[in-house]
Structure 1
Amino acid sequence: MNFPFIFAEAMSEDFLSSGKVPLRKDLPDTFTWNLAAIFPDDGSWEESFKQLGEDLKHLGNFNGRLFESPETLLEFLRTEEKTSEKMGKVYAYAVMKSHEDTSDARYQAMSERAGSLYAAFGASLSFFRPEVLEAGSEEVGKVLDSLPELGMYRHFFDDILRTGEHVLSPAEEMILAKSEEVARTAENAFSLLTNADLTFPEVLDESGRPTELSEERYYLLSRSRDRRVRKEAFEGLYSTYEKYRNTLSALYSGSVRSDLFYAGARKYASSLEASLHGDNIPPAVYRNVVETVNANLDALHGYMKLRKKALGLGELHMYDLNVPLAEEPDASIPYSRAMEMVEEGLAPLGEEYLNVLREGFSSRWVDVYENQGKRKGAYSWGSYGTHPYVLLNYNGTLRDVFTIAHEMGHSLHTWFSHRNQPQVYADYTIFLAEVASTTNEALLLESMLERAEKDEKIFLLNHYLDQVRTTVYRQAMFAEFEMETHALSEKGEALTADRLCGMWKELNIRFHGSDMTVDDGISVEWGRIPHFYSAFYVYKYVTGFSAAACLSRLIREGGEEERKSYMRFLSRGSSAYSLEILGEAGVDMTSPEPLEQTLLNFREKMALLAELLGV
């Protein structure tokens, strides 16, 4: 392994031994990201922030002039790219500084200023798409053909122009734009109700101490080895939602009707088609997810039977779904060892990939440990013109090692796309966003399974099976529910609380099979899912996971050609449509094969886990 910069500081991890969450200033620099690659100091940020105000005015000067000449259009595009790069750096630096310590008012204010400027940047470009659409395909094509430097923008303009038939007159577009704030009322009210107004009962923890239930605490309580605890948590959570079922159904029905209104106004055949059009995904891909998962429900039924036997239960209930079949190993994994494990797992990707991975680890791309006030969770982010960054809150668990692999997958996808694409195509689509990160997790899992002893292997297999259960099966169930509710609403049928609860319980019965006792409380679960207010989004979790499963298999079982194909995938950005980019890498998401391969792997690993558990 080759992490000299990190290993030189390895002993400094002793600062964690106190058990207290350290202050930011007490963290060794080695374990913090170095944002100087974006701006050397806050003063430089302020200078760039000030200059951007002038840049936005300059962009506005192109309003109404885009197609005066090919040279004018090229000048605008290059000006916009320079401004966008500067804006990206200003925004990323401010927000990441604010995440280092959320109690630091100086950087919270900087982040708010950057957010306001970002909104102004978007407003300054509001004339662009309408002018392109007004010019039309023929005029735009002539302009692009007349100047060689404009040729590279052809896919960019094609992507805009394909939406032309769904764009209304300027006056109608203004009305729709003004209506969007009203349309968000249902989502905003749902958020306030579920995040601020709902109060949950107390439950007794494993020691018999009263614990106030919350959405955040529910997941931890649902994993308790004490069945009484997870049953009480389940009943406490869903009995609370049950009290508001009518309000929740009215809010969700309002959101669905909003989807239908905008789809109809823009002349789409359905709200599903309207939702998928932005990514240029045919509705058949969405339906394929639902149909293929339904054709393989017997595998999930088998996992429910395995769970029931492994937990020694006479009846398996919905509150038994999250309790692990094996405990995560107690031994804390030093960060230096975690990096080694990730590199070992990603070795099939080759030296080109590993060299960038090492650079990321050794050049302070990563903000590793928790500190007081630091933003929770993990992410990969950055801006065009700099390398990406990763925020972690590393605690030394196996799950944390997977998080490193996942976030570095995002970062290297970004790095290769930015390195190989012009700015206009540098960022990949949301449809592709989780593919590279999940591919890394899949490669790491296989590497760890090869080296693991029995107990660790049981944990890893259980971890994988629950990933498939929650990311493939559960999200496909969500996708089917959304498809059904929108179809009913399109036929003019009411989405009452009784109807929604009945649909949800029936889905759970069908998905989980005869070995699951589907408790009545689960019937109102649809009412706590925030993703339902961003219609037809969750299917992307299924497609991303199954695409990653296929790619990881191709990489492991293939040779140099498959590795090169994957590296090309990482380098494509958005230079073609998402399905085309995946197809070039060997994954056809218009067919059921990727999902079928994923569920075949699920079956194989379930059989291995059953053998290890002796059930």
Structure 2
Amino acid sequence: MSEKKAKRLLQRNEVPEELTWDLTKVFKSDEEFEKEYQTVKDEVQNFRKLQGTMDQGSQRFLQIIENFLSINRKFEKVYVYASMRNDQDTTNAKYQGYNEMVDALAAEFSESISWFEPELLELDEDKLKQYFVEKKELKQYEHLIESMLVMRKHTLDKKSESLLAGASDIFGTSQNVFGILNNADLKFPIVKDDNGDDIQLSHGVYGKLIESTNRKVRKAAFKGLYSVYDQFKHTMATTLIGNVKVHNFKARVRNYKDAREAATTSNHIPTEVYDVLLEQVHKNLPLLHRYVKLRKKILGVDELHMYDMYTPLTEDSKLTYNYIQAQIEAKKALEVLGMDYLTHVSEAFENRWIDVVENKGKRSGAYSSGVYDTPPYILLNWQDNLENLFTLVHEMGHSMHSYYTSHNQPYQYGDYPIFLAEIASTTNENILTDYLLKNNDEKEILIYILNHYLDGFKGTVYRQTQFAEFEKWIHEQNSKGVPLTAKSISEYYLELNKKYYGNDVVSDPEIALEWARIPHFYYNFYVYQYATGFAAATTLAENILSGDENKLNKYLTYLKAGSSKYPLEVMKDAGVDMTDSSYLEKAFKVFEERLNQLETLLSEK
């Protein structure tokens, strides 16, 4: 039997137009982009001239605010055009050049506006109040200004702020060293792939091999990867501790209780949200232990190891969809969000907001992009499988969030904070999961869908909370003056791993070094938001699927809110109080129900 020829990747100019995004909706031509780029460049330079004049009356203050927002708005548009042109074909020299141009402009832009916030924070409070009395036009910017002024009590005098700003490169040394080590300098061993061929281990290759159905392959990849981190554990501990020290130092000099409060306050999130998450995950660890036990049973192993945690429990789904079929299924699944929502989904499909197929040089993966004055575009690299249907629905969630926000808020509130960003996309995934479970009766397909959901929950709610707990601990230890070493960090991490995954998995000694390879530990209390977002999305999806029109309207209100309120207020309006445990309890209830369903189906096999 002859082997099939490998499918040739299309050149960009060979892709059918209807499967490409239409970027003429951003700029009609490259020439128009270049003209606007120069305009922005000039305006960025001119903005510097306003520095030091914020206290010169309400009219000047209004002028500065409007100028600041206008430049931001224009800059975003030229930036997104250049980056998307580059992403559609990274081999195109012209668009590589555009991308480099806007990167350089970004640095210039950042520098030119750097005075804006410090000067606002230094403005006399009584004078600022008087500005609002004199200029009614300032009312529309009240929440924007207020959200910046929250930082006033944590802002230092000019000289101190200047010193901190000047030391930013020094503060970033630990993170930069880790990045270079982890991405460039570490050399991983040669291992065998699924075909028995030698392959150079890398982060990307490891991600694939750890999901292999061949246990020898994933075990070799696991041990090979961590053998390298073991060699460099003392260096990795030094970079991580150095980064933690920076966070604790900055928190201390800015009068925060601790680094965690400093990180969450900057996003207007109380630490209570973090604490409620940890408390509820701890309470529901028995559910994760049950799922781990089920994994051990299905895989039929005497000992379940950490390298067995990512291999699929079932064969690939028999469900396949071409792109046209996926559009139909996506719209059927999302019907519960109402006709207005579906109308805009159809608009995305029919008006070339989506760049669909893979072509030579195209950026890998998928994302939703665009800014206030553009459509909310989507980049895909389409394959005819269920995973890509989930990706389409996920990215559509982002794009509809952007659409509703930009069409219901003025520019200054026309984007949404990171804390809210993944909720709409994951809500869509939950809705699709429910649709697929209700519209399929073949046992193998149901098992696959349930496994997909449970693995997503495990990886996002449980795993990211484990990371968040570790991050909290390491900052606390340093602030107490407790010496931290590779040994003490690894011992704690191993015990934490055992607590999360339970007795039915062997917490291999290598997993004690997992902390050494996670870049998110350098992001300053970021990871907890993955867990809170996934749990909130599960609850919101349940609300929508209840058929209660009031709950649906609350969800649509969330999509329309942008940054017009603080994140927790937006979520409360949507029906989720993230300082209360009930949204997490609902999420764990769904996890348990689907775990019960999977256990039942597997017992019938």
Question: Greater shift after overlay, 90-99 or 595-604?
Answer: 595-604
Q: Among residues 368, 372, 391, which one is paired with 2:360 in the alignment?
A: 372
2:499 maps to 510
Query: What CA deviation, in whole Å up to 9, does each residue of 1:67-94 have, x standing for no partner?
Result: 3222222222222222222111110001
1:598 maps to 587
Query: What CA deviation, in whole Å up to 9, does each residue of 1:517-545 have, x standing for no partner?
Result: 11111110110000001121000001111
Alignment of 1:271 onto 2:259: yes
Secondary structure of the corresponding residue to residue 407 of structure 2: helix
Query: What CA deviation, in whole Å up to 9, does each residue of 1:529-585 have, x standing for no partner?
Result: 000011210000011111111111111104221111111110000001000000011
Question: TM-score, normalised to structure 2's length?
Answer: 0.97
Tell me the CA shift for residue 247 of structure 1.
0.8
Q: Give the Cα separation in 1 of the matches to 2:161 and 2:71.
A: 26
Contact 2:319–2:445, Cα closer than 8 Å, also in 1: no
Q: Give the Cα separation in 2 of the matches to 1:54 and 1:251.
A: 40
Q: Give the Cα separation in 2 of the matches to 1:27 and 1:47.
A: 28
Contact 1:300–1:512, Cα closer than 8 Å, also in 2: yes
Contact 2:450–2:598, Cα closer than 8 Å, also in 1: yes
Contact 2:285–2:500, Cα closer than 8 Å, also in 1: yes
1:57 maps to 45
Q: How does 1:391-430 map to 2 (within 5 A)?
A: 391-430=379-418
Q: Give the Cα separation in 1 of the matches to 2:133 and 2:352.
A: 44
Alignment of 1:233 onto 2:231: no
Alignment of 1:328 onto 2:316: yes
1:6 maps to none
Tell me the CA shift for residue 235 of structure 1.
0.8
Q: Give the Cα separation in 1 of the matches to 2:135 and 2:192.
A: 72
Letter in 1 for 2:345: L
**Contiguous gaps of at least 5 residues in structure 2:** none
Alignment of 1:213 onto 2:201: yes
Q: Give the Cα separation in 1 of the matches to 2:329 and 2:323.
A: 10
2:119 maps to 131
Q: Give the Cα separation in 1 of the matches to 2:585 and 2:480.
A: 32
Q: Give the Cα separation in 2 of the matches to 1:70 and 1:285.
A: 38
Q: Give the Cα separation in 2 of the matches to 1:434 and 1:454.
A: 30
1:8 maps to none
Tell me the CA shift for residue 307 of structure 1.
0.5
1:3 maps to none
2:15 maps to 27
Q: Among residues 427, 433, 440, which one is paired with 2:428 in the alignment?
A: 440
Q: Among residues 146, 149, 160, which one is paired with 1:172 in the alignment?
A: 160
Tell me the CA shift for residue 17 of structure 1.
10
Q: How does 1:396-545 map to 2 (within 5 A)?
A: 396-452=384-440, 453-545=442-534
Q: Give the Cα separation in 2 of the matches to 1:593 and 1:154.
A: 32
Aligned length: 600
Alignment of 1:554 onto 2:551: no
Letter in 1 for 2:563: S
1:9 maps to none
Alignment of 1:144 onto 2:135: no
Contact 2:318–2:445, Cα closer than 8 Å, also in 1: no
Alignment of 1:118 onto 2:110: no
Q: Give the Cα separation in 2 of the matches to 1:121 and 1:291.
A: 43
Q: Give the Cα separation in 2 of the matches to 1:412 and 1:562.
A: 18
Contact 2:89–2:362, Cα closer than 8 Å, also in 1: yes
Secondary structure of the corresponding residue to residue 268 of structure 1: coil
Letter in 1 for 2:346: R
Contact 1:308–1:515, Cα closer than 8 Å, also in 2: yes
Q: Among residues 199, 202, 211, which one is paired with 1:223 in the alignment?
A: 211
Q: Among residues 80, 95, 99, which one is paired with 1:92 in the alignment?
A: 80
Q: Give the Cα separation in 2 of the matches to 1:316 and 1:294.
A: 22
Contact 1:136–1:161, Cα closer than 8 Å, also in 2: no
Change (3 A) 1:575 1:17: farther
Query: What CA deviation, in whole Å up to 9, does each residue of 1:373-420 have, x standing for no partner?
Result: 111111111122121111111111111111111111111101111111
Contact 2:460–2:534, Cα closer than 8 Å, also in 1: yes
Secondary structure of the corresponding residue to residue 516 of structure 1: coil
Q: Among residues 254, 259, 262, which one is paired with 2:242 in the alignment?
A: 254
Tell me the CA shift for residue 18 of structure 1.
7.0
Letter in 1 for 2:275: R
Query: What CA deviation, in whole Å up to 9, does each residue of 1:324-359 have, x standing for no partner?
Result: 111222554100011111111111100111101100
Alignment of 1:568 onto 2:554: no
Q: Give the Cα separation in 1 of the matches to 2:218 and 2:280.
A: 32
Tell me the CA shift for residue 484 of structure 1.
0.4
Question: Greater shift after overlay, 390-399 or 558-567?
Answer: 558-567
Secondary structure of the corresponding residue to residue 203 of structure 1: strand
Q: Give the Cα separation in 1 of the matches to 2:124 and 2:130.
A: 10
Secondary structure of the corresponding residue to residue 191 of structure 2: strand
Letter in 2 for 1:292: Q
2:277 maps to 289
Contact 1:145–1:151, Cα closer than 8 Å, also in 2: no
1:68 maps to 56
2:170 maps to 182
Q: Give the Cα separation in 2 of the matches to 1:24 and 1:375.
A: 12
Q: Give the Cα separation in 1 of the matches to 2:240 and 2:487.
A: 13
Contact 2:319–2:386, Cα closer than 8 Å, also in 1: no
Calculate percent identity across the aligned residue pairs. Answer: 40
Q: Give the Cα separation in 1 of the matches to 2:573 and 2:586.
A: 18
Q: Give the Cα separation in 1 of the matches to 2:13 and 2:108.
A: 34
Q: Give the Cα separation in 1 of the matches to 2:149 and 2:591.
A: 41
Contact 1:88–1:383, Cα closer than 8 Å, also in 2: yes
Tell me the CA shift for residue 22 of structure 1.
1.0
Contact 2:26–2:81, Cα closer than 8 Å, also in 1: yes
Contact 1:52–1:86, Cα closer than 8 Å, also in 2: yes
Contact 1:461–1:609, Cα closer than 8 Å, also in 2: yes
Query: What CA deviation, in whole Å up to 9, does each residue of 1:24-70 have, x standing for no partner?
Result: 11100111101000111111111111111221233223222223222
Letter in 2 for 1:282: P
Segments of 4+ in structure 1 off by > 6 A? none
2:576 maps to 587
Tell me the CA shift for residue 285 of structure 1.
1.1
Contact 1:203–1:232, Cα closer than 8 Å, also in 2: yes
Q: Give the Cα separation in 1 of the matches to 2:31 and 2:294.
A: 60
Q: Give the Cα separation in 2 of the matches to 1:237 and 1:567.
A: 45
Change (3 A) 1:208 1:58: closer
Letter in 1 for 2:322: P
Contact 1:166–1:267, Cα closer than 8 Å, also in 2: yes
Q: Let me know the Cα RMSD of the aligned residues.
A: 1.4
Letter in 1 for 2:306: M
Q: Give the Cα separation in 1 of the matches to 2:507 and 2:30.
A: 56
Q: Give the Cα separation in 2 of the matches to 1:159 and 1:503.
A: 38
Letter in 2 for 1:499: S
Contact 1:458–1:612, Cα closer than 8 Å, also in 2: yes
Letter in 2 for 1:357: V
Q: Among residues 93, 96, 100, which one is paired with 1:105 in the alignment?
A: 93
Secondary structure of the corresponding residue to residue 123 of structure 2: helix
Q: Give the Cα separation in 2 of the matches to 1:160 and 1:410.
A: 26
